[in-house]
């Protein structure tokens, strides 16, 4: 659970920094939030990887969530356009992330099964008998 909270934190940091870029154009003081947000995101993301989330999944969720949230929040906060075509693109992003996550879970299960099978093979009765002779 911690790894997903860290990933959510990285996403919030990145989206906050990206949204602050708009305000920083008018008031340079906002660049502090921009720098802090990106720093936070890049400090949290390696922690997610250390906790076992595959890079493709972590980066995919981070990047895709960032794009989708930034598009929606910039429309809400700054009045940027959010057209049906853009919403369709966001739906495709979400679908893509889900497909990557499902593929990652399947690959992890297959890897675990191979490890169990190779561990079981190393302790087969024939190998044990051969080791004793």
Whole-number Å distance between alpha carbons of 37 and 31: 10
Q: Which pLDDT score, from 0 to 100, does residue 133 have?
A: 47
Closest CA to 97 of 53, 72, 64: 64
Confidence class of residue 121 from pLDDT cuts 50, 70 and 90?
low
* Domain edges within the chain: 2-122
Q: Report the SS3 class of residue 52.
A: coil
For 90, the 3-state DSSP assignment is helix
Each residue of 47-87: pLDDT tens digit? Answer: 999 999 988 889 989 999 999 999 999 999 999 999 999 99
């Amino acid at each position: 659970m911690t790894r997903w909270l860290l990933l959510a934190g990285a996403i919030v940091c990145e989206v906050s920094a990206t949204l602050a870029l708009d305000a920083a154009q008018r008031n340079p003081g906002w660049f502090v939030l921009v720098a802090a947000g990106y720093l936070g995101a890049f400090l949290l993301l390696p922690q997610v990887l250390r906790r076992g989330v595959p890079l493709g999944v972590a980066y995919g969720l981070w990047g895709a969530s960032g794009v989708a949230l930034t598009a929606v929040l910039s429309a809400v906060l700054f009045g940027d356009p959010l057209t049906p075509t853009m919403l369709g693109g966001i739906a495709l992003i979400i679908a893509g992330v889900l497909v990557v996550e499902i593929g990652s879970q399947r690959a992890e299960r297959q890897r675990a099964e191979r490890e169990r099978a190779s561990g079981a093979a190393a302790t087969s009765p024939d190998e044990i008998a051969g080791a004793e002779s």
